[in-house]
Amino acid sequence: MPDKAYINPLILKWARESAKVSLETAAAKFSSVTPERVAEWEEGKEYPTINQAGTLAKLYKRPFAWLFLQEVPADFLPLQDFRRKDARALGTASTFIIREIQQKQAWMKDILETEEADPLPFVGRFSLQDDASVVTNEIFLYR
């Protein structure tokens, strides 16, 4: 019998919902798992195997270790969409891309702060009224 992954069911549910994945889609990743079974994992009535939990982490685009956390981690929130009231919600792919970019920004910020790097001279110098070509030229000087 394969080893069970004693993950936090609340984290599993949060990961699925924040990835905008249905129970049916999650279950479809396995040959013999029903949506009801995935729901049981999320309720803590049953536990997936380590391999199944790994598959779910990949599907939800979350680190495997996060499934074992005690609390829901602070998530990278997608940008607010202020286009108009009837605009469609961001899709799963867009949300994943934004989350990945925000995660990389946070990593770079941590690295630069750890190395006590000086801020780039163009940061904060420009506004929306500045000519885009001028801003672009300034930034490319420091590549």
Model confidence at 8: pLDDT above 90: yes
| Burial category of 116 from C-beta neighbours within 10 Å (exposed 0-12, middle 13-18, buried 19 and up) | exposed
Regarding pTM above 0.85, the answer is no
Amino acid of residue 3: D
pLDDT band at 119 (very low <50, low <70, confident <90, very high): confident
Model confidence at 111: pLDDT above 90: yes
pLDDT band at 82 (very low <50, low <70, confident <90, very high): low
Report pLDDT for 46. 95
Look up the CATH architecture of domain 9-68: Orthogonal Bundle (1.10)
Task: List pLDDT tens digits, range 24-67.
Answer: 999 999 999 999 999 999 999 999 999 999 999 999 988 899 99
Of 12, 2, 27, 3, residue with least CA distance to 68 = 12
SS3 helix, strand, coil % of the chain, rounded to 5? 50, 0, 50
**Residue 7 to residues 22, 29, 65: CA-CA distances in angstroms?**
19, 18, 9
- Beta-bridge partners for 4: 49
Domain boundaries, the chain: 9-68, 92-140
Report pLDDT for 81. 59
Report pLDDT for 83. 64
